[in-house]
Amino acid sequence: MFRFALTRIGMALPTLLIVAVSVFVLIRLIPGDPAQLMLGDLATPASLADLRARLGLDQSLPVQFGIWIGNVLTGDFGQSISSQQAVLPLILQRFWISAQIVLVAVLLASCVAVPAGVIAAWKQDSAVDLGLVATATLLLSIPTFWLGLLLLLFFGLKLEWLPVVGYVSIAENPWAGILYLVMPIMTLFLHEIGVILRMARASTLEVLRLDYITHARAKGLSERAVLWRHAFKNAFGPTWTLIGLVLGNLLGGIAVVETVFTIPGLGRLLVDAIFARDYPVIQGCMLFVAFTYVLVNLVIDLCYPVFDPRVTAQ
């Protein structure tokens, strides 16, 4: 297990380095002078030169990358051009909002979709299976922004059960904060049910065709015992991997949902920074999202031997 963990961590480090280089290069390819943007059109050549020297923009690209990655390793992501705030605390504040939505949505979707997928595989080609697969396909085919708008129109405007748009911190007002998060969570929950259910069904069907399942049935075990005691554990591994991918993707791609419901999360921060050409925030958000994605999948990989003990032998 320890060797397996070291191998996975060793594979993650080069990935993070490649991501850091890619983010640095992409930001440098954006047209415009960051110093000019920070100081405005009325800045003098002397003040521009002084700011470029302080930011290291007058150095070669390798030197700039070395300065930047050194600052990142010490937790200094720079300062926002538009708000004049430190970038890392700003990202962490917004990330917590996004994480609340994503974690709850993925947890609820997993709790519903995994058992449903297993049951669909158990009842293959029955009315239950066809109904679950059809529902999953329908939910998967609806774009998240459209699904969010439908929920907003029905529960927010027509029934008036939930607030339409906005955000209230749970720390300030727990009940109001929960109400504001219900529809964003439901949007992601409904969409991800389709993804996870289909994977759970496919992996369970594959396991149910194996010889040891036939042997377990031949010993006289009940179908429920065969399904949950023997098939489920081996079938859950691929689904667990997919859950990790879904979680990482949502943490980095929640901007659409946050824009629909005007939630001030990490995705909304990145979108606003792009429109404002706030390079330090864009750079920091991209690096933080990539780091989070790699970290989530590293944790998923480290948990994989729990579902398949053979992995530790690799």
Q: What is the pLDDT of residue 134?
A: 93
Q: Is the pLDDT of residue 248 over 60?
A: yes
Higher pLDDT, 275 or 112: 112
Flag the least confident range among 85-89, 141-145, 292-296, 303-307: 303-307
Chain segment 17-58, per-residue pLDDT in tens: 888 888 888 877 777 666 776 666 777 888 878 877 776 777
Give the number of C-alpha atoms closer than 13 A to the C-alpha of residue 117, restricted to the C-beta side.
31
d(CA 150, CA 291): 33
308 Cβ contact list (under 8 Å, min separation 6): 234, 237
DSSP-derived letter for residue 158 is: I
Q: What is the pLDDT of residue 107?
A: 92
Most confident of 68-82, 188-202, 292-306: 188-202
Type of residue at 306? V
d(CA 63, CA 230): 57
DSSP-derived letter for residue 249 is: H
- The three-state secondary structure class of 114 is helix
Chain segment 141-171, per-residue pLDDT in tens: 888 888 888 888 888 888 888 888 778 888 8
Q: What does the block give as tokens for 122?
A: 């158990």
Give helix 2-29 / helix 61-73 axis angle, nearest 10°. 130
Q: Which residues of 118-139 are buried (b: 16+ CB within 10 A; e: fewer)?
A: bbbbbeeeeeebeebbebbeeb
Instruction: Give percent of the chain above pLDDT 90.
Output: 8
Higher pLDDT, 230 or 135: 135
**β-bridge partners, 79:** 86
Chain segment 250-264, per-residue pLDDT in tens: 876 688 888 888 888
